[in-house]
């Protein structure tokens, strides 16, 4: 055994990420409008774990001051969350909610007063219901509504917030809402999925253009969940081709336009061949070309294992991305049993290497990486703290690969874990816990720092860690 020291670059961003709809909660007098999650919970509460809905999230709307003190206590110098579109502009367009302006101003000011830089994202799956009723992202009018909302945010908060992001994981509304039925409106249509992705890309480019024109002295990017696609057999050309197609659909459909300003040729060929091209209007592609991101946030949880298509194509719902590949179950993989997700730490290094080698070594940071565990109360010690050594190990092993990528020249500026405190996670609600800080939703959202939170403080203070290997 020998001691190994991992030191990160000066001014590295140490912190965590969250989102408005997963943390803020809803209160009788807060003026928030309905979004798709509020609506879906009213319609089908049984779809949500233990029937816990978005109104019961971690009460950040009330507890943000306490939370920021806890962030400071566990070593944060930065923190990413999102503005809820339906809180700020309840109907998606029109009047601004003054109570939301007060809340976000106070939240931002409190972060800054405690030397925690706010990173703000504009869209985290929370479509205002009034806009979903006209088709949400399938309707080009939503792009215009989004850009107006983005400009409002820049005007209200851009004097203090200098890190903005247009979308978090924009492939998720495509997959969840219009392909695989895990987000509202639970439809299955490759054609509509393509329209959703196209309009999200358009909205991002237009918001970037608007932000740069306002000369607010900050930077704007996008946050993508980059899930590397590994072929079953790297010597098998059919497996390699299948993995490339999965990468085109789920990573490069947003990565390429965000950084290179253009869609992958292989994706264009598929949508043309299937006759599911979106409505591309004059000037659209030029707009995307000329308004690329300043900064890339990277979310990484698990790899994607792919093999050549072997199962029969299911034509029930028309064409699907899965027509071009099959998933491969890697024997002997390390797994998080609570999520069913493979744990493959080297994936984070491969993503970062890809940004260096194929995307101009864009300035980037890890904006989400984390481990959800069910039933964490099993690990409470005599002092009432959760001993989540598994989370410390998970983060450490990923950080070692982040460090390696940086040593090799990747322009990675920070690491934010998902998440700061246990939060509400869509239909899973509070089934799996991810936070550095536990939240007791049955006891008015009482907060308690976990062992991993205290450990993270030592990492941030030392700008790295020493371990025996």
CATH number of 294's domain: 3.20.20.80
Q: Domain residues for 390?
A: 3-468
- Region class of 340: left (phi > 0), else alpha (psi between -120 and 50), else beta: left
Radius of gyration of the chain, Cα coordinates, nearest whole angstrom: 21
The continuous run of DSSP H or E covering 290 comes out as helix 284-290
pLDDT over 90 (residue 330): yes
CA dist list (Å): 436 to 14, 21, 74, 105, 349: 13, 19, 8, 25, 23
pLDDT for 383: 87
In the chain, the percentage of residues whose pLDDT exceeds 90 is 97
Q: What is the mean pLDDT of residues 82-102?
A: 98
Helix (H, G, I), strand (E, B) or coil at 434: coil
Task: Provide the β-strand partners of residue 128.
Answer: 35
Q: Residue 15: which pLDDT band, with cuts at 50, 70 and 90?
A: very high
Q: Is the pLDDT of residue 311 over 90?
A: yes
Catalytically annotated residues = 368
Rounded to whole angstroms, the Cα distance separating 32 from 20 reads: 12
- Which DSSP symbol is given to 250? I
Helix (H, G, I), strand (E, B) or coil at 369: coil
Residue pair 146/173 in contact by the 8 Å Cβ criterion: no
- Give the residue from 241, 165, 174, 248 showing the smallest Cα distance to 208: 165
Asked if 50 contacts 428 with a C-beta cutoff of 8 angstroms, the reply is: no
Does residue 1 have a pLDDT over 90? no
Give the C-alpha separation, 193 to 320, whole Å. Answer: 10
Alpha-carbon distance of 125 to 84, in angstroms, equals 10
pLDDT in tens, 25-81: 999 999 999 999 999 999 999 999 999 999 989 999 999 999 999 999 999 999 999
CA distance 360 to 367: 19
**In whole angstroms, what is the distance from residue 125 CA to residue 172 CA?**
8
Please, what is the end-to-end C-alpha distance for the chain in angstroms? Answer: 5
- As a whole number of angstroms, the distance between CA 416 and CA 442 comes to 27
Q: Is 201 exposed, middle or buried (0-12, 13-18, 19+ CB in 10 A)?
A: buried
Mean pLDDT of 404-414: 98
Handedness of CA 21, 27, 33, 39 (dihedral sign): positive
The total number of structural domains in the chain stands at 1
- Over range 248-276, report the average pLDDT: 98
pLDDT of residue 384 exceeding 90: no
**pLDDT at site 82:** 98
Residue percentage of the chain with pLDDT more than 70: 100
DSSP states along 416-429? EEE-SB----GGGT
pLDDT category at 14 given cuts 50, 70, 90 is very high
Average pLDDT of 10-31? Answer: 97
Alpha helix (H) residue ranges in 318-441:
346-358, 389-407
Residues 6 or more apart from 406 whose CB is under 8 A from it?
Answer: 8, 9, 352, 412
**Nearest CA to 395 among 16, 110, 51, 35?**
16
pLDDT at 469 over 90: no
Amino acid 317: pLDDT: 95
What residues contact 102, with CB distance under 8 A and at least 6 apart? none
CB atoms within 10 A of CB 145: 21
Overall average pLDDT of the 104-133 stretch: 98
Cβ atoms within 10 Å, residue 86: 28
């Amino acid at each position: 055994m020998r001691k190994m020291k991992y030191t990160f670059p000066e001014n590295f961003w140490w912190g965590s990420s969250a989102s408005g709809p997963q943390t803020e909660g809803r209160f009788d007098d807060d003026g928030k409008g309905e979004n798709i999650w509020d609506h879906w919970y009213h319609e089908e509460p049984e779809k949500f774990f233990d029937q816990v809905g978005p109104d019961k999230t971690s009460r950040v709307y009330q507890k943000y001051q306490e939370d920021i003190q806890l962030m400071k206590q566990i070593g944060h110098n930065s923190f990413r969350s999102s503005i809820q579109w339906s809180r700020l502009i309840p109907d998606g367009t029109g009047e601004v909610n003054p109570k939301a302006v007060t809340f976000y101003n106070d939240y931002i000011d409190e972060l800054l007063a405690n030397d925690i830089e706010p990173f703000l994202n504009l869209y985290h799956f929370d479509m205002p219901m009034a806009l979903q009723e006209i088709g949400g992202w399938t309707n080009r009018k939503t792009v215009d509504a989004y850009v107006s909302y983005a400009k409002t945010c820049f005007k209200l908060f851009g004097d203090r917030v200098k890190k903005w992001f247009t979308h978090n994981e924009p492939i998720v509304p495509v997959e969840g809402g219009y392909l695989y039925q895990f987000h509202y409106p639970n439809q299955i249509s490759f054609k509509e999925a393509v329209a959703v992705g196209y309009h999200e890309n358009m909205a991002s480019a237009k918001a970037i253009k608007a932000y740069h024109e306002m000369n607010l002295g900050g930077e704007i990017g996008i946050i993508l969940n980059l899930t590397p696609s590994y072929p079953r057999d790297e010597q098998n050309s059919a497996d390699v081709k299948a993995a490339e197609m999965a990468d085109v659909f789920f990573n490069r459909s947003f990565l390429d336009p965000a950084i290179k300003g253009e869609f992958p040729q292989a994706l264009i060929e598929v949508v043309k061949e299937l006759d599911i091209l979106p409505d591309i209007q004059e000037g659209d592609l030029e707009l995307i070309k000329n308004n690329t991101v300043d900064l890339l946030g990277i979310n990484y949880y698990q790899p994607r294992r792919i093999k050549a298509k072997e199962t029969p194509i299911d034509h029930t719902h028309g064409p699907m991305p899965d027509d071009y590949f099959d998933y491969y179950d890697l024997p002997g993989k390390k797994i998080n049993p609570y999520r069913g997700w493979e744990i493959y730490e080297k994936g984070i290094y491969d993503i970062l290497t890809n940004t260096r080698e194929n995307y101009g070594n864009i300035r980037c940071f890890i904006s989400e990486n984390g481990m959800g565990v069910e039933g964490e109360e099993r690990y409470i010690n005599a002092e009432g703290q959760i001993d989540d050594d598994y989370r410390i190990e998970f983060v450490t092993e990923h950080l070692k690969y982040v460090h390696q990528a940086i040593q090799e020249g990747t322009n990675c500026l920070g690491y934010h874990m998902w998440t700061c405190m246990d939060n509400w996670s869509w239909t899973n609600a509070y089934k799996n816990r991810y936070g550095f800080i536990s939240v007791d939703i049955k006891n008015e959202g009482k907060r308690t720092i976990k062992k991993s939170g205290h450990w993270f403080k030592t990492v941030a203070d030392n700008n790295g860690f020493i371990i025996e290997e």
